């Protein structure tokens, strides 16, 4: 048989996820404390699980409307009105997706023509660059500095905008840094986006896990609802990663275009998960607050303990990640992560997974129980002592 390359050039050229590659290493190792994976250590609150079970018992096993259960869209509409005072039509401006992951993929495919650019502030969630490339667009990375709390400023954004710029993917609170934007900062960014007429894809999946400050949704900014696609979901705040439910809210033409792709590729999110999500929106607030309280306790501990250990870091204001500098170790982020894993059995994610400028950092997730976090920090102390002795 004539040997053929079965894989498309586009996919072949795509770099594998830095996180996944590293966590292949962790699998199969014993007694590892993992601060690597970005998912809650809590199980989904019982009332939400029970609704899922009940929906199965009652025989809810069919497809739903492509747009998602009408009841869920109505509940989301009400939730956003109450929380942020924004209005979306449940019929035409809200789409239920398979996690925020699917919504991200749909939105870039819905808006991009070949070669159009999408600005992506870094450090950023690992999927942003690849989904833009897969959609035929060009990711334009905009690195933010630690001295700016890992946030971009309007001057930087202005410089990055070209005639080919179609959109920007914002994510706050941020994975991997935990930093978030104030209303004042968002206003300045919004002014640039409005001036250049670009689509703002606002990934606010950690919006409900914001500490010390109030989360400001991008579509609430002056005029922004007309060009913003707001993305949120149930994975993080409600500890529902495995249920795979998210949603996108935005201008009608974009939501209609996303729905077109979604109906041909996915059809709909699972009905069981959507019914559980209805329960989450209706009565999950208290559980979210309880989990948030515990994340906050861990955040305060990690911030103090890591700084004492020589791993200097900013205090995260949201999500469940902390992004310490490893400069004091004298190692690259990959060496640091590999040696910490081998020598002390603690798994963290190398900073380069989030952008090439971040080799001086690692990402740690504090979605791990408090006792484990304490143990992990003790192990890191030993590790840092060994590193600094040799430097
Ligand atoms: C910033 C960000 N966006 C989106 C996702 C994907 O979320 P979902 O489980 O809703 O697909 C993640 C998951 O880690 C994330 O960190």
Query: Which domains, and CATH codes, for the chain?
Result: 9-44+286-390 (3.90.1150.10), 46-284 (3.40.640.10)
- The predicted structure's pLDDT at residue 21: 66
- Of 30-44, 112-126, 271-285, the range with the lowest mean pLDDT is 30-44
Quick check: 5 pLDDT over 90?
Answer: no
What pTM was computed for the model?
Answer: 0.96
Q: What is the pLDDT of residue 329?
A: 95
Query: Which residue, chain included where needed, has tokens 């956003």?
Result: 80
In this prediction, what percent of the chain has a pLDDT beyond 90? 91
Per-residue pLDDT at 307 exceeds 80: yes
Q: Which two tokens stand for residue 100?
A: 């925020």
* Ligand 1 centroid, distance to 85 Cα (angstroms): 24
37, 39, 101, 238, best to mutate for ligand 1 pocket (most atoms within 8 Å of CB) = 101
In tens, the pLDDT along 151-186 reads: 999 999 999 999 999 999 999 999 999 999 999 999
**Among 59, 56, 64, 92, CA closest to 77:** 92
Q: How far is the CA of 346 from the centre of ligand 1 (A)?
A: 23
Contact 123, 141 (CB under 8 A): no
Cβ atoms < 10 Å from Cβ of 278:
21
Nearest to 154 by CA among 192, 205, 124: 192
Question: 203 falls in which pLDDT band (50, 70, 90)?
Answer: very high
pLDDT digits (tens, 9 = 90+) for 324-361: 999 999 999 999 999 999 999 999 999 999 999 999 99
| 8 A C-beta contact, residue 148 and residue 379 | no
At 23 the pLDDT is: 74
- Give the mutation target among 18, 39, 99 for probing the ligand 1 site: most ligand atoms within 8 A of CB: 99
Asked if residue 329 has its Cβ within 6 Å of ligand 1, the reply is: no
The per-residue pLDDT for range 75-85, each reduced to its tens digit, is 999 999 999 99
Q: For the chain, give the mean pLDDT.
A: 95
Q: Give the 3-state secondary structure of residue 126.
A: coil
Task: Say if residue 390's pLDDT is above 60.
Answer: no
Phi/psi at 266 (5° precision): -120, -30
Token pair recorded at residue 186: 């968002």
Residue 67: the pLDDT is 98
Distance 107 CA to ligand 1 centre (A): 14
Q: Do 335 and 390 touch, CB atoms closer than 8 A? A: no
337: tokens are 């992560």
């Amino acid at each position: 048989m004539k040997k053929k390359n079965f894989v498309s050039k586009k996919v072949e050229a795509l770099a594998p996820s830095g996180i996944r590659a590293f966590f292949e290493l962790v699998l199969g190792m014993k007694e590892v404390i993992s601060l690597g994976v970005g998912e809650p250590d809590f199980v989904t609150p019982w009332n939400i699980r029970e609704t899922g079970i009940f929906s199965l018992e009652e025989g809810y096993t069919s497809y739903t409307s492509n747009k998602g259960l009408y009841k869920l869209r109505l509940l989301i509409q009400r939730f956003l009105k109450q929380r942020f005072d924004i209005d979306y039509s449940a019929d035409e401006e809200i789409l239920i997706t398979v996690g925020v992951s699917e919504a991200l993929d749909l939105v870039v495919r819905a808006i991009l023509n070949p070669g159009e650019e999408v600005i992506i502030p870094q450090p950023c969630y690992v999927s942003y660059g690849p989904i833009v490339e897969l959609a035929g667009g060009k990711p334009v990375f905009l690195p933010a500095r630690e001295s700016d709390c890992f946030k971009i400023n309007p001057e930087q954004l202005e410089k990055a905008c070209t005639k080919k710029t179609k959109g920007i993917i914002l994510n706050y609170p941020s994975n991997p840094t935990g930093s978030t934007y104030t209303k004042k900062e968002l206003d300045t960014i919004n002014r640039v986006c409005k001036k250049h007429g670009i689509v703002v894809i606002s990934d606010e999946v950690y919006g409900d896990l914001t500490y010390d400050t109030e989360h400001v949704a991008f579509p609430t900014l002056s005029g922004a609802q007309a060009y913003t696609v707001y993305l949120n979901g149930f994975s993080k705040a409600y500890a529902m990663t495995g249920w795979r439910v998210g949603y996108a809210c935005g201008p009608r033409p974009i939501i209609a275009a996303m729905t077109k792709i979604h109906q041909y590729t996915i059809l709909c999110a699972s009905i069981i998960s959507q019914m559980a999500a209805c329960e989450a929106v209706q009565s999950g607030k208290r559980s979210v607050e309880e989990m948030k309280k515990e994340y906050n306790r861990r955040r305060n501990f990690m911030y103090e303990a890591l700084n004492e250990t020589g791993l200097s870091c900013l205090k995260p204001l949201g999500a469940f990640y902390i992004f310490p500098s490893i400069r004091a170790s004298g190692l690259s982020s990959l060496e640091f992560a590999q040696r910490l894993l081998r020598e002390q059995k603690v798994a963290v994610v190398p900073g380069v997974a989030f952008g090439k400028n971040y080799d001086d950092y690692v990402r740690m997730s504090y979605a791990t129980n408090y006792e484990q976090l304490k143990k992990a920090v003790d192990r890191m102390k030993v590790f840092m002592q060994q590193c600094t002795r040799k430097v």
